[in-house]
Structure 1
Amino acid sequence: MINQAYRLIAPKQIRADFVDLKMDDENIIVRPTYLSICAADQRYYTGSRGRVIMKQKLPMALIHESVGEVVYDPKGEYKVGTNVVMIPNTPMEKDDIIKENYLRSSQFRASGFDGFMQNVVSMRRDLIIPFKMEPRVAVLLELTSVVMNAVENFKKISNERKNVIGIWGNGNLGFISALVLKKTYPDTKIIVFGVEEHKMAYFSFVDDTYLINNIPSDLKVDHAFECVGGRGSEAAINQIIDYIQPQGTISLMGVSETPVGINTRMVLEKGLTLLGNSRSNYDDFKKSVELMETYPDVCEYLSTIISEEVVVQSIKDMHKAFEDDLNNDFKTVMKWDI
């Protein structure tokens, strides 16, 4: 079957390519309906990943956050029109110890092979999950699953004292982390630390918010989640080290393109655990679907961080979505109508 993939061929250049679509009994054909732009997509779109990486990765269709409708299931297990979330992490093997999203052999859409900017997508049967919530909000399931992965890791590693959890970063990742943590630990005080005062109003469900230059000197957190990334991650991690209690866990979630320097002396003195988190797997998606379907208010809160919805009917519309996203406070969603 011939399909069209809308591939980035150079910074800010998208081309429509005709590609062969895999068809067999184990693959289901899905038509994307909503796509969400991630910071990783923007790094490719703007060319900030660097010349060597761009040369290795491109041409490539972007976007790893997407939901869609089943177009064809050769086994008939899914009805045509069923809403499904598509899992971008594609494991190639199983390991009894290492989670599939950390296996070096796993492939990830929009990071080495085509993402979801296509007319239709051929998905392995084990990489789609049906859902019932509004697709416009369900497109945030991928980012929610990334947070779910981090929270599940945190549960296994962290100590039992969880009176106060701090979240550094008041962007998309910080918002969803705060939301998932508040549902997971309803009796725990959740505090968000950020740099943009106008965004703090969105965090109405947490217990406290502070600007990072106005934190009480006597405030302490038992554990922390770093959701800053980029150039600000170094300052965020070191501030966390200052305010965290001994033997606390720092869950690192923000992505930085360059190495960051941290105060290892105090990491040692306080006996801290630094826990790396990246991407997610089927179980994380499944738990995220259950969370959003169990708690209607989760979907209501998530809908507030959709800053803009761009109807995409042409490559020109794709460029508009990416350009607008650079100036949006939170999520830019594309309604895929191409």
Structure 2
Amino acid sequence: MINQIYRLVSPRQFEVAYQDCSVHSDDVVVRPTHLSICAADQRYYTGSRDKEVLAKKLPMALIHEAVGKVMRDPKGEWAVGTPVVMIPNTPVETDDIIAENYLRSSKFRSSGYDGFMQDYVFLKRDRVVPLFPGINLNVAAFIELISVSMHAISRFEKTAHSRRQTFGIWGDGNLGFITSLILKKKYQNSRIIVFGKTPYKLDYFSFADDVYLIDQIPSTLRIDHAFECAGGIGSQYAIDQAIDHIHPEGTIGLLGVSENPVEINTRMVLEKGLTLIGSSRSGRVDFVNTVQFLEEHPDVLEYLEVLVGSVLTVRTIQDIINAFEQDLTTSWGKTVMQWEI
């Protein structure tokens, strides 16, 4: 069959490409239904990545956060119409030590490899996770982002010491919201403190025990462990504050992505015996755990609905452009495209 792929060919310009795909393969065929725009997609769309990077990776279909419905399953395990979340990370090998999302050989959709802006997506069976009935598909559209937080917390749990009375989360955006929400649900007897720079965004963190503006943190405040979810140049200041307020031998999880190197006060890292854990992306096990977690905690799903900033129906390439442009002006939450193109 001929599949239509909607590729970014240059900043703010999309074109349709046609690809001949075999429906006789062992792949599961999924029709995307809800796609969520990520900041990484926007960096390609606006051309804010280095010119060398853009020249190397474009043309390319964007979007790595998406759900869809099964259109064909050669093994008959999933009926046509079954809602599923699609996993963008695509490993080509396995390793007994290194997780699939850290293998340098793995491909990642919408990062040098076509994302989910397609009529149909052909996926290996292990790149699909079925969703449970009744899930809000506008929230499910960004399960990939939720799985990133889930992955980072799982790495923390394998490394950090057992004193987990107080957590500090730096970042009042989507990632900070999701990470602090999961921590609050997993560690209900712990104190969850969120640090941000925008008062109205901090108002959304109603589940947190305390919130502070980053320029109003009490000098005596101490935490056992920290998660940096700021990203950009803000990650440098977030890490610096976390180092100042964390107890000795605490753990700092690093999630925020920065295009440029940031400075870290290694002297205090050494003096306090701190552990810094980097986390990036996620793998199948994180998606499975995330879907199970959301099914077991419907109240978490209700909180996550706050992150649905806008939902736009997409039927044309101009609709795609409009969605990306509107997302650029959105100060809170995720932009979801209902994919009807």
TM-score surpassing 0.5?
yes
1:72, distance to aligned residue in structure 2 (A): 1.2
The CA RMSD over aligned residues, in Å, is: 0.9
Say if 1:25 and 1:75, in contact at 8 Å, map to a contact too: no
**Distance in 1 separating the partners of 2:264 and 2:2:** 50
1:26, distance to aligned residue in structure 2 (A): 2.3
Residue matched to 2:150? 148
Counterpart of 2:301 (choices 299, 302, 308) is 299
Say if 1:229 and 1:254, in contact at 8 Å, map to a contact too: yes
Aligned positions of 1:319-334 closer than 5 A: 319-328=321-330, 329-334=332-337
Over residues 17-56 of structure 1, what are the superposed CA-to-partner deviations in whole Å (9 max), with x where a residue is unaligned? 1112243442011000000011111111111111000011
Q: Runs (4+) of structure 1 moved beyond 6 Å?
A: none
Aligned positions of 1:241-320 closer than 5 A: 241-320=243-322
**Distance in 1 separating the partners of 2:199 and 2:324:** 24
Residue matched to 1:211? 213
**Distance in 2 separating the partners of 1:276 and 1:322:** 29
Residue matched to 1:53? 53
Indicate whether 1:114 and 2:114 are aligned. Answer: yes
Aligned to 1:256, the other structure's residue is in SS state: coil
Residue matched to 1:186? 188
Residue matched to 1:38? 38
1:337 partner amino acid: E
Residue matched to 2:5? 5
Instruction: Give the alignment's TM-score, normalised by structure 2.
Output: 0.97
Over residues 91-113 of structure 1, what are the superposed CA-to-partner deviations in whole Å (9 max), with x where a residue is unaligned? 11111111111111111000111
Indicate whether 1:77 and 2:77 are aligned. Answer: yes
2:65 partner amino acid: E
Aligned positions of 1:95-134 closer than 5 A: 95-132=95-132, 133-134=135-136
Residue matched to 2:87? 87
**Distance in 2 separating the partners of 1:187 and 1:283:** 26
1:240, distance to aligned residue in structure 2 (A): 1.0
Percentage of identical aligned residues: 58
**Distance in 2 separating the partners of 1:24 and 1:40:** 34
2:138 partner amino acid: R
* Mean CA deviation greater in 271-280 or 136-145: 136-145
Aligned to 1:246, the other structure's residue is in SS state: strand
Instruction: Give the alignment's TM-score, normalised by structure 1.
Output: 0.98
Say if 1:22 and 1:122, in contact at 8 Å, map to a contact too: no
**Distance in 1 separating the partners of 2:278 and 2:139:** 27
2:339 partner amino acid: W
**Count of aligned positions:** 338
Aligned to 2:4, the other structure's residue is in SS state: strand
2:198 partner amino acid: E
Aligned to 2:287, the other structure's residue is in SS state: helix
Over residues 45-95 of structure 1, what are the superposed CA-to-partner deviations in whole Å (9 max), with x where a residue is unaligned? 111111000011000000000000011112221111000000000111111
Over residues 177-235 of structure 1, what are the superposed CA-to-partner deviations in whole Å (9 max), with x where a residue is unaligned? 01111111111111100011101121111111001011111101111000011121111
1:335 partner amino acid: Q
Counterpart of 2:178 (choices 176, 180, 186) is 176
Aligned to 1:245, the other structure's residue is in SS state: strand
**Distance in 1 separating the partners of 2:129 and 2:6:** 24
Task: Please list every run of 5 or more consecutive structure 2 residues that lacks an aligned counterpart in the other structure.
Answer: none
Residue matched to 2:240? 238
Over residues 265-306 of structure 1, what are the superposed CA-to-partner deviations in whole Å (9 max), with x where a residue is unaligned? 111111111100000011100110011111111111111111
Counterpart of 1:335 (choices 313, 333, 338) is 338
**Distance in 2 separating the partners of 1:54 and 1:105:** 20
**Distance in 2 separating the partners of 1:41 and 1:24:** 32
Say if 1:164 and 1:191, in contact at 8 Å, map to a contact too: yes
1:23 partner amino acid: V
**Distance in 1 separating the partners of 2:262 and 2:4:** 40
Aligned to 1:213, the other structure's residue is in SS state: coil
Aligned to 1:230, the other structure's residue is in SS state: coil
Aligned to 1:222, the other structure's residue is in SS state: strand
